[in-house]
Chain A
C-alpha cells in the first residue's frame, strides 16, 4: 500500500534554503504506531538518494506525526534546483510502498 493512502496528509517544505522537512500526519494513535513500525528510515534515505546519516527522524506521538528533515537535494534556487519551495518532494513519500 502507498504511504499516502494510509495516512491523513504528507507535507514537504523548505526549512530554510538548505534543508527540506517532511511531515507525515497520521489519522490516530493506532495509525501512528502502525506507520512508525512499518516506515523504515533507510527507505526514505533511498528515495532521496542520500545516506541514512543525513536523514533526521522525529517520531512525535503527541501529534501522531513522523517528521523527516534532510539537506535539500539541491540548495534552494541554485541552477540545479527544480522546486523552489520544496513542496513536491512529498509525492515521493506518498507513493512509497510500505
Chain B
C-alpha cells in the first residue's frame, strides 16, 4: 500500500437539522476539506419514522439547512455527503431528500450530479435470507419469523464504507445515502485513500456527532484529519476545544461497549488508543485497531405497524381523589373492561398512566410523593383506529365523573380540551436487531445518478 495522504473531512453538525455555528463552517471551508459529510438520522427518535419512511424534521427547516450546506459545497468544490437521509434512511426518505436537493439546485441555478444510495431491502429477499439462515440475531433481538418480516413496512440495511465508496466513485457532487452507519460516512473516503483503518473508523465515531466531542457541543462544526497512523480532531468554532478528555469520553456516548464498535465487515477496538493534546484545541489519537471479519455482514433495521391508538387525558385536582389515585385508576380500569365487554370492544386494550406518579419510569419508580394534581393518560390500542376511538369515547364519561364509591357526590375532573380524546394514528415498533451476511457489499443496495 502506498503511503497515504492526509484526508480532511468537514462535519458541519451531529445531524442535519441540529443548529451549528455558521462562522465555524466558513472557517472549516478555509481548511480545504476533501469532503463535507453529515448524518441525517438515527433510530433515536423512535420507530415511527422508519415505519412510515418519513423525516422527523419539517421540510422547510431541512431545506433551509441543506441549502446552506449546498452553498458550502459550491464554495469548497468538494463532494457533499449525507447519510441516513430523512431520519430513517428508508427509500422514501431518500427520494424526499433528492426532491429537496433538486428544488434547491433549480432555485440556485446549479447543475449538479447527484448520486443516491438506497438501503431499503426487498421483503422477498429478506424472507429468502431468513430461510437460508444468513440472518443472525444480535443480543436481545426480538424473535423474527416470516410473518414478522411480512408485517414490516420498511426494512433497511446499514451501509458501510464499501457502498459509500461506490457512491463517491461516481464523481457525484452530492451523495444522498439511505441508512448507513453514522461512522461509515466519515470513514469511507480516508480508507479508500489508504489511511489507517483504525484511525479512520475511530475518527469517524468521534466526529459523527459534530462538536459533541468538544467543550462546546452546540458549535457543531469539526474538522477531522486522518492519516496513515492516526487522526486529529479540531473544532472550527473559536470558543470550542477538543481535549483528550472530551475526545476519549465520547466513546461512551450511545455505546453499550465503550471500546468496541461493530461495523459492516469488521469491528473497531479503541482500548489501546492514546489521546494527545496537540495545541489548545486539537487532539491527536493513535493506537485504535480495526479487525476485518468474514463473512461480510450488514445490520438490519425494520419496523412494523403495531396498531392504532387513541389517547385521552384528564387532570385530577381534587385532593380526596389525589390521595386515592390508585384506587380511582383501578375503578376506571374495572369500569372500562365492563363497558368494553358489553359494547363488543374487548379487543381494544387500555393502559392508564398516572402523570405525577410514575408515568416516566413505570414500575421502576420508587418515589411516593403527595401531589397537588395528577394527569391520567388513557391509551387505547387496537388494530383499527375507529375501534380505538370508540373505546376512548366509552371511557370519557368515567374520566370526567367516576366517583370513588357509589355513595359520594359525583365528581367532575378537568378535561384540558374538547374532545378529550386524540387519535394518534398508527404506531410502529422496531422488530429487527439482526445482521445479514451478503456476498458482495452492494447486494441489496441501489446506486443511481440524477443530473439536475
Given A13-B254, A79-B381, residue A85 in contact with residue B364 (CB < 8 A):
no
* A residues contacting the other copy or chain, number (CB 8 A): 38
Q: A82-B360, A88-B361 are in contact. List 8 more A-B contacts (CB 8 A).
A: A13-B253, A17-B433, A18-B140, A21-B255, A76-B46, A77-B427, A84-B46, A92-B364
* B residues contacting the other copy or chain, number (CB 8 A): 41
Q: A19 to B256, Cβ gap below 8 A? A: yes
A interface vs B, CB < 8 Å?
Answer: 13-19, 21, 23, 25, 47-49, 56, 58, 60, 62-63, 65, 67, 69, 71, 73, 75-80, 82-85, 88-89, 91-92, 95
What separation, in Å, do the CA atoms of A63 and B251 have in the docked complex? 11
Q: A76 to B47, Cβ gap below 8 A? A: yes
Residue-wise, chain B 270-283 has the 8 Å CB interface mask toward A (1 for contact) of 00000000000000
Residue of B nearest to A74 (CB): B362
Residue of A nearest to B253 (CB): A13
Q: B364 to A63, Cβ gap below 8 A? A: no
What separation, in Å, do the CA atoms of A25 and B250 have in the docked complex? 12
Pair count A-B, CB < 8 A:
103
Residue of B nearest to A96 (CB): B366
Q: A15 to B255, Cβ gap below 8 A? A: yes
Given A77-B47, A79-B351, residue A89 in contact with residue B255 (CB < 8 A):
no
What separation, in Å, do the CA atoms of A56 and B46 have in the docked complex? 24
- Kindly identify which residue among B47, B138, B258, B427 contacts A67, using a CB–CB cutoff of 8 Å: B258
CB distance from B187 to the nearest CB of A (A): 19
CB distance from A43 to the nearest CB of B (A): 12
Residues of B within 8 A of A84 (CB): 45-46
B57 interface residue per 8 A CB criterion: no
- Kindly identify which residue among A17, A25, A77, A82 contacts B361, using a CB–CB cutoff of 8 Å: A82
What separation, in Å, do the CA atoms of A83 and B365 have in the docked complex? 13
Q: B427 to A79, Cβ gap below 8 A? A: yes
Residues of B within 8 A of A14 (CB): 43-44, 254
Q: B140 to A19, Cβ gap below 8 A? A: yes
Q: A79 to B43, Cβ gap below 8 A? A: no
B290 interface residue per 8 A CB criterion: no
Q: A91 to B252, Cβ gap below 8 A? A: no
